[in-house]
Amino acid sequence: MLPYVIRRLLWLPVLLSIIIFITFVLGFYGPGGPEVVLLGQNFDPEVADLIREQWGMNDPFFMQYFRYLQNYATLNFGESLLIRQHQPIIDLIAERLPITMQLSAAALLLGIPTGIVLGIIAAFTRGSWLDRSIIFTTVFIRAIPVLVAAPVLLMIFAGQLRILPAGG
Q: Is residue 138 part of a domain?
A: yes
Is 80 exceeded by the pLDDT of residue 167? no
Work out the pLDDT band at 42, boundaries 50, 70, 90: confident
Percentage above 90 pLDDT, the chain: 61
Contact in structure between 75 and 88 (CB atoms under 8 Å): no
Q: Is residue 33 part of a domain?
A: yes
Domain termination site, one of 44, 74, 104: 74
Residues 122 and 70 in one domain: no
Domain termination site, one of 74, 107, 136: 74
Residues 67 and 127 in one domain: no
Q: What is the DSSP letter of 42?
A: G
Tell me the residue range of the domain where 39 lies: 2-74
Output the pTM of the full model: 0.65
Residues 97 and 70 in one domain: no
Domain termination site, one of 28, 45, 74: 74
Angstrom distance (rounded) from CA 85 to CA 38: 9
Q: Is residue 87 part of a domain?
A: no
Angstrom distance (rounded) from CA 35 to CA 68: 17
